[in-house]
Amino acid sequence: MGNQDEERFASEVRRIRGGPRSDERPAGLGTVRFLVACPFGSSLVLEKARAVMSIVASQSMQGWPDETTWTLFLPAWFVEACPPELSGAEMTAHLDRWRQMSPEEQAKTEEERSWPLADWLYWMDPSRRRWWWWDAQELPDLDHIVLAVEVNDWPFPWGALRWLFRAAGASSVVAEEESQ
| 138 contacts: CB under 8 Å, gap ≥ 6 | 42, 43, 46, 144, 145
Residues 6+ apart with CB under 8 A from 174: 34, 35, 37
Give backbone dihedrals phi and psi of 157, rounded to 5 degrees, phi first. -75, 120
Q: Dihedrals φ, ψ of 85, to 5°?
A: -65, 150
pTM for the model stands at: 0.89
Q: Is the peptide bond before 126 cis (omega within 30 degrees of 0)?
A: no
In this prediction, residues 59-70 reach a mean pLDDT of 92
6 with 126: CB under 8 angstroms?
A: no
Instruction: Report the Cα–Cα distance between both ends of the chain, in Å, rounded.
Output: 39
- pLDDT for res 48: 98
pLDDT in tens, 75-113: 999 999 999 876 678 678 777 777 887 878 777 767 778
pLDDT digits (tens, 9 = 90+) for 102-161: 878 777 767 778 899 999 999 999 999 999 999 999 999 889 999 999 998 888 999 999
pLDDT at 179: 42
